[in-house]
Amino acid sequence: MELLGIDIGGSGIKGALVDIEKGELATERHRIATPQPSKPDAVADVVAEIAHHFNWKGPIGCTFPAIVKRGVVYSAANVDDDWIGTDGEKLLGEKTGCRVLLINDADAAGIAEMEFGAGRWQQGTVIVLTFGTGIGSAIFSNGVLVPNTEFGHMEVRRKDAEHRASDKARQDQNLSWKKWAKRVNEFLARMEQLFSPDLFIIGGGVSKKHYEYLHYFEAQTEIVPAQLLNEAGIIGAAMAAKKQV
């Protein structure tokens, strides 16, 4: 069975048809830059353009980089503030003419990793962290998701963790992988203090370069790179949308 998954990010909006039984893309990704400013109508127009690109008329699973409850957006760290309070599912449904399920982006990536990737068969507490424009997070207890955790906004050295340790911060501040990993280690240590996880899965834009930094990580918890790399959000969104069928 194939469903359309779309991943809305701070810099790009990506979509592909997904084979949800195999947990893999069934087509090439189609990417369009995120409009700036990323107002709701402008972003929704891009989502509709991606749906049109695939000539898609069925249910759509769509990620969003914010807290999402019953389709309504409650935060806007890396998108325009006009999103706060917007019924994202309704807006995207109107623009695309399709039923849409909207889900936090890291939660979607986590769903995919737990079903088909690095978290498969893993029990206990698993924390998925996505490093990109910000830091997304998803936490699972014996395979059950606790949604909308947003650990990237945890304070470290009087700043949101993502302002110090996201991949965007690494690039903007021209940090070496070693210096960036030192910042990530502080964040991971705080997570260990609070949650005593059994496994960290590192995903997002940096996941495909894990050989550059993984050996610098010093957490007591086992750390592994995401297996689905930066496609996890698209795959997880499509999987979450299965309930719309």
- Residue 196 gets the label, from left (phi > 0), alpha (psi -120 to 50) or beta, of left
Q: How far is CA 21 from CA 18, 110, 115, 147, 180, in A?
A: 9, 16, 10, 23, 37
What is the C-alpha to C-alpha distance for residues 55 and 74, in angstroms, rounded to an integer? 30
Q: How many residues in the chain?
A: 245
C-alpha separations of 72 from 7, 36, 80, 104, 138 in Å? 17, 21, 15, 11, 19
pLDDT tens digits for 169-213?
999 999 999 999 999 999 999 999 999 999 999 998 898 899 999
Q: What is the rounded distance in angstroms from the CA atom of residue 77 to the CA atom of residue 59?
A: 27
Position 245 pLDDT exceeds 70: no
- Euclidean distance between the first and the last CA atom of the chain, given in angstroms as a whole number: 10
For 29, 32, 48, 100, 129, the CA distances from 57, given in Å and listed in that order, are 18, 20, 11, 11, 32
> CATH 3.30.420.40 residue ranges in the chain?
2-105+232-244, 118-227
pTM for the full predicted model: 0.93
Which option is the CATH number for 2-105+232-244: 3.30.750.24, 3.30.420.40, 3.30.1330.90, 3.40.50.2000?
3.30.420.40
Q: pLDDT for 118-164, tens place per residue? A: 999 999 999 999 999 899 999 999 999 999 999 999 999 999 999 99
Which numeric CATH code is attached to 118-227? 3.30.420.40
pLDDT in tens, 40-89: 999 999 999 999 999 999 999 999 999 999 999 999 988 999 999 999 99
